[in-house]
Structure 1
């Protein structure tokens, strides 16, 4: 999604002079035009994530709207204390953009993976926005700016030829009456490709941000009707989207349903591979999701 992200920054920056772009020496073959268009509003601060966050906080305090960009685990984990103390405590409008959310950097290994990122960022005032496909990125960037508060923009990989509705915090991608499925971020592509095999049965929803303002009544009605819920995310279970969604459903009086949380499992085999390799090990590749849907349907028949 990084090229779509770069183009979105270019388009917005031309008419929004408060936008400042700070990169941590990342973005070869993607940010060259961003640098050319933004001029002195483009800052390569080097491999210094803590300093980058502090710099962004200072600029935001002076009335600018900084975008910070790096590989997701670098900017989240190395800059964590500064995100917490400098940005979120003060509710400053800094948009922290992490590329390669989940297992996005594949064979590069655990140091380059972000499978605990939005759980770790369960801090005051900050929201995670996670586009599902490349076409979502421009709307996601505009949404991030519109909040005028701390944002973690989690970018992944992948496109989908199927025509789906415009990016939003909640959108129903498929309708069905047997199983409700909720997914967040780019793993939604796998979720969609698996669920579409069950026409009329799978009720698939893509969630674009966490924490969300409220759960649509249509989604609650779906869970109450199907009494089956599968949550799919490329993030560990603890502190993840699935746990959060279930807690909110219970708060809304919706608790009588079978549940399966399909999440990142870390590194069961102790080896590294492609993003698809890790997704398969975690049971969130397309075939594994299809199997989980079938098993959930069988539970209903018992």
Structure 2
């Protein structure tokens, strides 16, 4: 007899637990994700999770979601084996953590997940890193170092600041989760990020501005790069939660926006939209390049006149 859709979904989750792809404590796909993956209604996906919960396969964890429950009898979930002859090193731990954050987002990064990826017990990781905070610092240093500052700085304060900003943008572009762990108001003690700070103050060293203005220039430039980069991660999260691309989402707002503009409540905005005639795409890379040039243009008078 053919299984109903919700039972097939539940059976697939069980298989993934049995072969080690999902382990105790791991989050299982959400109702929305299951509905999207299987092409079923949300109610059907919810019914599958309800069946799994009733059988004790999964359990709801507050502020976490639905996770794989502890196996009956207390047996540990299977762990992916380490490849023969491959030793566990700090570099492998850090790279595994980066891979998880790149693929799934920083919120999905756990020590257990890293251990599973490298095929070891969670406690074994602590021989190489002091804990998650230590691991995150190592991750930051590793990804920023992928885009090193040049050994020979370009001539002039403006060229040097622009070089630093573009390299930081490249790091955020490659690793969008980075924006979540680098704070403007509570800066992390990252050696790689401090290289950019030293580079910036070296660029401003012989300019006539005072120390406070130098700090403002550096902080403003850093916050500009970070402020645009925030939207890379937000867009990725929006795509994951809705399944809609930016263009698809905007298409869904078209009727509502048309109604607003036709009411005449925002005539200036409406005129710009009419003038564009649909010929505008919000490209974050273009916005970054445009904004960086404008920002440096604006700073030129301050930096050079003092």
Report the TM-score when normalising by structure 1. Answer: 0.31
User: Highest Rg: 1 or 2?
Assistant: 2
Q: Larger % of strand: which? A: 1
Higher RCO, 1 or 2 (CA under 8 Å, sep at least 6)? 1
Q: Larger % of helix: which? A: 2
Report the TM-score when normalising by structure 2. Answer: 0.31
